[in-house]
């Protein structure tokens, strides 16, 4: 019982016992030019029905998971943006109250990281593959970056400080190009250059602001401090990326908190004792210090998950949301007018980040697609017990692989 076939054809015959052999999908049997289904194979029919139903259910399940995953990423991204806006608000409010203790603010943030993540790391009892002095260097750079950016609130506005953080993208490109050998496309350079043009408009806006004439406020000095701080953050980000590849995130955050606590405590003792003694502690003051520490704790905790789940695209766009929070705080809380150049600068920076991030993700997707393995089809054994997969000619392979898509 069979059908005419050549030497390269696949044989289908009625089994004498329950069928357990793999079979082609129904669409493949019905649509390939020379293969016909057999009504006398009930086991194959049942398998084909089950396979057809599972194929119909799988896309729906995948879409549902993708929708929930996207919603989770968006929520976490906005949580990161809100934590940054909360930290910026606390720093700017303390600066307006005359408090000049940027190291102390960072100290409490590192203290929370140490109290939460160091016990978790010790409980896991995993041996570190990175020497402790690398974590010390990384923490030192991170402390200096936080110090410079928080210090900038003494001289510049909350909107300028939050938007100028985007300089980190430029420094990261330079560092990874020379230190890690990373190569970027033309569109990524164009996006980074667009960001630089927008940030130049921020500097121009601050130069023309009324605060520039105020002796207590020096916006350009504050902008310079932010740019210097972004250099430190760039070194910190590249170092954190290297450490995460060598070890897990828990150890990184634990060591960053521990050594950051030590470095900030030493610098407070040397440089900030008098400023700390002059602080008039009150419930409002304590709330601001605590709010800044909790905001940084949330930022350091959630950022690695957002980067892992979505990459830099949604992360950078989420940080732009924090800039809009800063605009709302300046307009509604401080009741300060914003130069129209700032809105132009924000739009230019947003376009630059979108161009940079989308081209980064598309290049990554291209590499991932190029490495995907083509699906394999299982083939029925022939009468002599050998599989006929090795005997299929190239024309028939194309016919078999294309039949499912055609149907």
CA atoms of 22 and 47, how far apart (whole Å): 9
Q: Which two tokens stand for residue 194?
A: 């667009």
Would you say residue 255 has pLDDT above 80? yes
Please give the residue that has the higher pLDDT: either 152 or 63: 152
Q: Is the dihedral of CA 351, 357, 359, 362 positive or negative?
A: negative
Would you say residue 66 has pLDDT above 90? no
Q: Is the dihedral of CA 178, 180, 185, 188 positive or negative?
A: negative
Which of 81-85, 115-119, 347-351 has maximum average pLDDT?
Answer: 115-119
CA atoms of 193 and 178, how far apart (whole Å): 18
pLDDT at 181: 77
Structure confidence at residue 287 as a pLDDT band (50, 70, 90): very high
CA atoms of 3 and 26, how far apart (whole Å): 18
Per DSSP, the residues of 222-252 read HHHHHHHHHHHHHHHHHHHHHHHHHS-HHHH
Which of 219-223, 255-259, 274-278 has maximum average pLDDT?
Answer: 255-259
Torsion over CA of 211, 217, 219 and 221, rounded to 10 degrees? Answer: 150
pLDDT digits over 296-305, tens only? 999 989 887 7
pLDDT at 113: 95
Give burial (CB, 10 Å; 0-12/13-18/19+) of 71: exposed
Please give the residue that has the higher pLDDT: either 330 or 4: 330
Q: To the nearest whole percent, how much of the chain has pLDDT over 90?
A: 26
Torsion over CA of 209, 215, 219 and 220, rounded to 10 degrees? Answer: 110
pLDDT at 380: 42
- The lowest-confidence range among 60-69, 143-152, 161-170 is 60-69
Would you say residue 229 has pLDDT above 50? yes
Would you say residue 107 has pLDDT above 90? yes
CB atoms within 10 A of CB 26: 18
Please give the residue that has the higher pLDDT: either 238 or 3: 238
- The lowest-confidence range among 60-64, 221-225, 288-292 is 60-64
Structure confidence at residue 265 as a pLDDT band (50, 70, 90): very high
Please give the distance of CA 251 from its chain centroid, rounded to a whole number.
Answer: 19
CA atoms of 118 and 116, how far apart (whole Å): 6
pLDDT at 289: 96
pLDDT at 249: 84
pLDDT at 394: 47
Task: Output b/e per residue, 184-194; b: 16+ Cβ within 10 A.
Answer: beeebeebbeb
pLDDT at 168: 79
pLDDT at 360: 63
Would you say residue 211 has pLDDT above 70? no
Q: To the nearest whole percent, how much of the chain has pLDDT over 70?
A: 67
Would you say residue 268 has pLDDT above 80? yes
- The whole-number average pLDDT for the span 371-385 is 41
- The lowest-confidence range among 25-39, 129-143, 202-216, 309-323 is 25-39
pLDDT digits over 22-59, tens only? 444 444 444 444 444 444 445 555 566 666 666 666 66
Across 65-135, the runs of DSSP E, i.e. the strands, are none
pLDDT at 110: 96
Would you say residue 370 has pLDDT above 50? no
Beta bridge partners of 387: 381
Contact 54, 287 (CB under 8 A): no
Domain residue ranges of the chain, discontinuous segments joined by +: 73-208+217-365
Would you say residue 273 has pLDDT above 80? yes
74 CB-near residues (< 8 Å, 6+ apart) = 314
Closest alpha carbon to 326 in 93, 109, 73, 72: 93
Backbone angles phi, psi at 387, to 5 degrees: -80, 150
Please give the residue that has the higher pLDDT: either 97 or 159: 97
The continuous run of DSSP H or E covering 141 comes out as: helix 132-152
pLDDT at 333: 83
Which of 14-23, 34-43, 202-211 has maximum average pLDDT?
Answer: 202-211
pLDDT at 215: 55
pLDDT at 260: 96
Contact 107, 264 (CB under 8 A): yes
Structure confidence at residue 108 as a pLDDT band (50, 70, 90): very high
pLDDT at 26: 44
- The whole-number average pLDDT for the span 180-188 is 81
pTM for the model stands at: 0.67
């Amino acid at each position: 019982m069979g059908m005419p076939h050549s030497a390269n054809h696949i044989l289908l015959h009625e089994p004498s016992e329950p069928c357990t052999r793999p079979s082609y999908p129904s669409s493949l049997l019905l649509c390939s030019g020379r293969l016909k289904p057999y009504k006398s194979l009930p086991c194959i029919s049942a398998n084909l029905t089950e396979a057809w139903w599972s194929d119909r259910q799988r896309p729906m399940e995948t879409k549902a998971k993708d929708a929930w995953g996207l919603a989770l990423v968006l929520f976490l991204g906005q949580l990161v943006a809100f934590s940054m806006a909360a930290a910026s608000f606390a720093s700017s409010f303390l600066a307006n109250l005359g408090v000049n203790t940027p190291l102390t603010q960072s100290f409490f943030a590192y203290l929370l990281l140490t109290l939460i993540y160091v016990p978790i790391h010790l409980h896991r009892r995993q041996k570190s593959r990175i020497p402790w002095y690398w974590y010390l260097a990384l923490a030192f750079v991170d402390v200096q970056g936080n110090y410079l950016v928080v210090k900038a609130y003494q001289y510049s506005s909350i909107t300028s400080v939050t938007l100028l953080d985007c300089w980190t993208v430029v420094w990261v490109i330079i560092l990874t190009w020379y230190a890690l050998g990373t190569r970027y496309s033309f569109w990524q350079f164009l996006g980074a250059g667009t960001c630089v043009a927008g940030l130049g408009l921020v500097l121009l806006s601050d130069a023309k602001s009324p605060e520039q004439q105020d002796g207590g406020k020096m916006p350009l000095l504050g902008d310079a401090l932010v740019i210097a701080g972004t250099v430190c953050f760039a070194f910190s980000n590249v170092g954190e990326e290297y450490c995460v590849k060598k070890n897990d995130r828990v150890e990184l955050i634990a060591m960053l908190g521990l050594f950051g606590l030590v470095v900030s405590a030493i610098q407070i003792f040397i440089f900030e004792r008098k400023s700390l003694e002059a602080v008039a502690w009150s419930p409002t003051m304590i709330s601001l210090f605590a709010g800044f520490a909790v905001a940084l704790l949330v930022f350091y905790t959630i950022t690695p998950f957002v980067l892992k789940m979505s990459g830099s695209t949604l992360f950078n766009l989420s940080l732009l949301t924090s800039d809009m929070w800063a605009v709302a705080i300046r307009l509604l809380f401080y009741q300060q007018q914003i130069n129209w150049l700032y809105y132009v600068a924000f739009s230019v920076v947003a376009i630059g980040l979108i161009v940079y991030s989308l081209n980064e993700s598309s290049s990554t997707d291209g590499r991932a697609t190029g490495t995907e393995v083509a699906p394999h089809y299982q083939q029925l054994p022939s009468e002599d017990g050998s599989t006929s997969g090795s005997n299929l000619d190239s024309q028939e392979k194309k016919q078999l692989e294309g039949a499912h898509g055609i149907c």
